[in-house]
Chains A and B, each alone.
Chain A
Amino acid sequence: MSVVTVQLGQCGNQVGHQLFDVICSDAHEAQRIYSCSSCERFFYRSRQGELVARAVMIDMEAKVINQSLTKAAKSGRWKYGDTSYFSQKQGSGNNWANGYCVHGPRHREVVEELVRREVERCDRLAGLMAMMSVAGGTGSGVGTYVTQCLRDIYPKSFILNHLTWPYGTGEVIVQNYNSVLTLAHLYQLSDAILVHENDTVHRICSQLLNIKHISFSDVNTVIAQQLGSVLQPALTADSHGVYSRNPLGELVSALACHPEYKLLSVSSIPQMPSSSIAYSTFSWPGLLKHLRQMLISNAKMEEGIDWQVRPLAGSERTRSLTGPSFNTSLANLLILRGKDVYSAETGSFEDPALYTSWLSSGEAFTLWKSPVPFNKYEKSATLVSNSQALLKPLDNMVGKAWNMFASRAYIHQYIKFGISEEDFLDSFTSLEQVISSYSQLC
């Protein structure tokens, strides 16, 4: 089964390119079955026998698409389809409304045709993945519009949105407005929303990977590796020893069945400079113990975990007692890759105390395994979590946007393209609903 990726805007196209690169090199080194399974998901073979990404690239300016096209072709291992991209000359100017109300509708037919062509190339479509940032205008605005089109054309397919959340400061001033509008709309359209925060990934780069001058390409690589470890083939509980075939469907079914809870965060372990890997040994109990504590203390990386946070016993569990430090999960998906994976003991993730009271841990926890090591680590674990982890950043984002909205700052820029104050209010309302749902998770 295959996944068709739609890369949108500068960020979407950069991260997307990295993702295909990570997947291709990972599949390249592994044994045949794994490699075939991975390739079927993300690539097809051209008549000349080259691996071609099942991807559509969309941007309102050509620079980044050209860069990605060239880089992929230069890699010699894979490339993008010769005609599966669409670019324009002028960007959306960081304005969600410009992307959503102007550029999106204007280019609807071309974009739909590109996606349709990729979909028809698949023997069986596992789903669609739209990758974009929420800060700018093209990724967020056009991305939202395109997701809406995809939902219309493929009402029965799984649609996953991968979103890159901007740095708290410094990328785009109206990023909180753009984010609020994007998230509120996507919440109605998407099956699940997988989020990477630039700030978190930046910290991973500096503190775990010891990168001195962190560039966007470093940040994108980390995101791509985490995504790759989620999307590469794995064995599921009922796949009976064969690599599961529907990565998106199973991901969504495991984590995002409830319409009010669709935000997924990713954390993985270990993450270290490749020079240190040779000198490190990993054990499953050690990795999983750390990962579990990262989960419940809401630490996005191994460093600085608060070991004081403990789940409370059933009798103590009330909303006030769990307190802000404990991160309650709705559902978790644990993916283990590497040596001796069958011996790994994952019982600690099935503790009902980690989860909301209304879902049994059997329903809330899913485990995937693969004996093939990923990304040079002998053993590695990735956790995709539908939990309160994104509550605080979301709340911050909405709070800042609301403050700005209260002064009506920048609103005229949106009204110019047809987004009214009412539309803003609607988006705020639906995100406050999401915040309220997640804060009641216990």
Chain B
Amino acid sequence: MTQSVVVQVGQCGNQVGCRFWDLALREHAHVNKKGLYDEALSSFFQNVDSRRSDGRGCGVGGRIQHLKARAVLVDMEEGVVNEILQGPLREVFDSTQLLTDVSGSGNNWAVGHMTYGSAYREQIVDKLRKAAEHCDCLQCFFLIHSMGGGTGSGLGTRVLSLLEEEFPEVCRIVTSIYPSAEDDVITSPYNSVLAMRELTEHADCVLPVENQSLVEIVNKIKHMSHGAKPGATIRRDSTVISGQGGLSGAEKPFDAMNNIVANLLLNMTSSARFEGSLNMDLNEIAMNLVPFPRLHYLVPSLTPLYTLADVNVPTRRLDQMFSDAFSKEHQLIRADPKHSLYLACALMVRGNVQVSDLRRNIERLKPSLPFVSWNQEGWKTGLCSVPPVGHSHSLLALANNTCVKPTFMELRERFTRLYRKKAHLHHYLNVEGMEQSFFSEAVTSLSSLIEEYHHLDATKLKLMPDAPRLCIAT
């Protein structure tokens, strides 16, 4: 069994991360009735025996002593991390995993990336190495950060390149929260575009999540639950949006949104944690979904989000789940994959679902989904037998789809609007190590990325002939 380390950077990253740890603990508690430290738990948690002085974890098979999250928490303010340390999750972290400063990055990518990145470089690497040493077979780093602020985007992407430097063999999966258009951080377009270049160059996979989509999903769920149609009630203990039943007490404003992202991570790692008839390992994600190294942005969609399944699964409901995964409303960015071009698509299914269900639904949905000519059968599937708590089954779809292009173009547009006026530029250029060329290079990188998606999009309507085969002289 392999292990993964979660690196959460900045306010948003840490909030999402904590929701993930909360839900993961709950999920394991639900499955693991014996209280033994098993392989599944070991993938994201260490079992520390406080009586042992060396601080190393116990091996798999013994009783659970003291679970510690395989995580590194980084923030340049103290607020969120302190809150965590005073909250119910304080037990799963210890001080060696934390790194904080007091002054924050002032929503400035350059401060996070350059100033803090250089000042804390040694400490960050040290904490990462410690976390890695506690792993038997480290497979993956999950980086969680936001794109808009200073710490998440600046220092987060700095951590990403440090990971590549220090652990080139270990897969880097980044969950990036993109700011809304009417973000209250004025410089967020700068931060996002500067961060994008880092993501394009140093990540193995990026799961873009838009704040705006999360807001819409949460609003819709609230609306439905208050609508109180008979028979259409939402069970409030669903893990998808609710934090109830977890370790944390009262719900906080962003918890519902953060829960969705945490669920994304939970589902993505389920196959690595639990058994299934068709395992999907974490290193298979990039292998199957990334045909060209730079085009590694995977649009996530999660079902069920709005309706909840009964224990008995009538086929119609199950099929509905598959259909939902491709609808606009279930995407975690504002995009419509059905009307763009699929390069590849993974379906990660949890619960009591058989291979025949998968096959039937793929056959059913395939005609309505445009796939690139050379990957007409670009489906990757995983079956994990353990469903999320409170559900009989769930589905996470990851699509490498050109529908990310509008999001990127909009981002570029907002960037250009600011950059043309050179607004706020001096805040960045005052930072040591920052140069104006970073801006132009970042936007060039983004443009060429958009261009690459555009080229693929252009093949969509054309009938692409098969490549002429090799001929054997007879």
Contacts and interface: CB of A to CB of B under 8 A. Distances in A.
Interface of A: 10, 61-64, 67, 89-91, 93-95, 137, 167-174, 202, 206, 211-217, 219, 398-400, 402-407, 409-410, 412-413, 428-429, 432-433, 435-436, 440
Contacts of B9: none
Contacts of B362: 169-170
22 contacts: A90-B281, A91-B279, A137-B287, A169-B362, A170-B380, A170-B381, A172-B288, A173-B377, A202-B355, A214-B356, A215-B277, A216-B278, A216-B355, A402-B470, A405-B467, A407-B374, A409-B291, A409-B375, A413-B286, A413-B287, A432-B471, A433-B472
Contacts of A440: 474
B425 interface: no
A261 B6 CA distance: 51
A17 B215 CA distance: 49
Given A215-B355, A410-B287, A433-B472, 16 more contacts: A61-B1, A61-B2, A90-B137, A90-B139, A169-B379, A171-B381, A173-B289, A173-B344, A173-B377, A215-B354, A399-B469, A402-B469, A409-B291, A432-B471, A432-B472, A440-B474
B468 to A, nearest CB: 9
A245 to B, nearest CB: 37
A398 B468 CA distance: 12
Given A93-B284, A214-B356, A216-B355, A406 B467 contact: yes
Given A412-B292, A433-B472, A436-B474, A91 B284 contact: yes
A172 B381 CA distance: 7
A353 to B, nearest CB: 24
A207 to B, nearest CB: 12
Interface of B: 1-2, 136-137, 139, 275, 277-279, 281, 283-284, 286-293, 344, 354-359, 362-363, 366, 373-381, 466-467, 469-472, 474
Contacts of B467: 402-403, 405-406
Query: Which 9 residue pairs of A and B lie closest in terms of their CB atoms, listed nearest first?
Result: A406-B467, A93-B283, A409-B291, A89-B137, A214-B356, A169-B377, A436-B472, A173-B288, A170-B379
Contact of A89 (B2, B359, B381): B2
B472 A170 contact: no
Nearest to A434: B472
A67 B374 contact: no
A433 B470 CA distance: 9
A409 B374 contact: yes
Contacts of B381: 170-171
B467 to A, nearest CB: 3
A10 B279 contact: yes
Contacts of B292: 409, 412
Contact of A93 (B287, B356, B466): B287
A433 B291 CA distance: 28
Contacts of B376: 400
Nearest to A89: B137
From A171, A398, A405, A429, residue with most partner B Cβ within 10 Å: A171
A172 B289 CA distance: 10
From B289, B362, B374, B471, residue with most partner A Cβ within 10 Å: B374
Contacts of A399: 466, 469
B326 to A, nearest CB: 15
Contacts of A213: 354, 356-357
Nearest to A166: B377
Contact of B374 (A206, A211, A406): A406
B470 A432 contact: yes
A368 B212 CA distance: 69
Contacts of B375: 173, 404, 409
B470 A429 contact: yes
A214 B354 contact: yes
A10 to B, nearest CB: 7
Nearest to B377: A169
B248 to A, nearest CB: 32
B380 A67 contact: no
Contacts of A62: 1
B346 to A, nearest CB: 8
A229 to B, nearest CB: 24
A64 B271 CA distance: 13
Contacts of A90: 2, 137, 139, 281, 283
A413 B279 CA distance: 20
Given A174-B288, A403-B374, A217 B277 contact: yes
Nearest to A217: B277
Contacts of A67: 275
A118 to B, nearest CB: 26
A327 to B, nearest CB: 21
A171 B1 CA distance: 22
A398 B354 CA distance: 29
Contacts of B374: 403-404, 406-407, 409
B134 to A, nearest CB: 15
A412 B278 contact: no
From B139, B289, B466, B470, residue with most partner A Cβ within 10 Å: B470
A94 to B, nearest CB: 5
Contact of A173 (B277, B279, B378, B471): B378
Contacts of B1: 61-63, 89
Contacts of B377: 168-170, 173, 400
Contacts of A215: 277, 354-356
Nearest to B3: A89
Contacts of A173: 288-289, 344, 375, 377-380
A381 B388 CA distance: 46
Contacts of A61: 1-2, 279, 281
Contacts of A432: 469-472
Contact of B287 (A10, A94, A436): A94
Contacts of A405: 467
A91 B356 CA distance: 25
A63 B275 contact: yes
Contacts of A407: 291, 374
A93 to B, nearest CB: 3
A94 B291 contact: no
A308 to B, nearest CB: 28
Contacts of A64: 279
Nearest to B347: A170
A206 B354 CA distance: 13
A48 to B, nearest CB: 26
A413 B290 contact: yes
Contacts of B358: 170
A315 to B, nearest CB: 24
B466 A403 contact: yes
Given A399-B469, A404-B374, A432-B469, A91 B355 contact: no
A330 to B, nearest CB: 17
A94 B284 contact: yes
A403 B373 CA distance: 8
A400 B1 CA distance: 33
B281 A216 contact: no
B466 to A, nearest CB: 6
Contacts of A202: 355-356, 359
A10 B357 CA distance: 20
Contacts of B287: 93-95, 137, 174, 410, 413
Given A173-B379, A399-B469, A410 B291 contact: yes
Contacts of A428: 470
B26 to A, nearest CB: 23
From A174, A398, A399, residue with most partner B Cβ within 10 Å: A174
A10 B379 CA distance: 19
Contacts of B293: 412
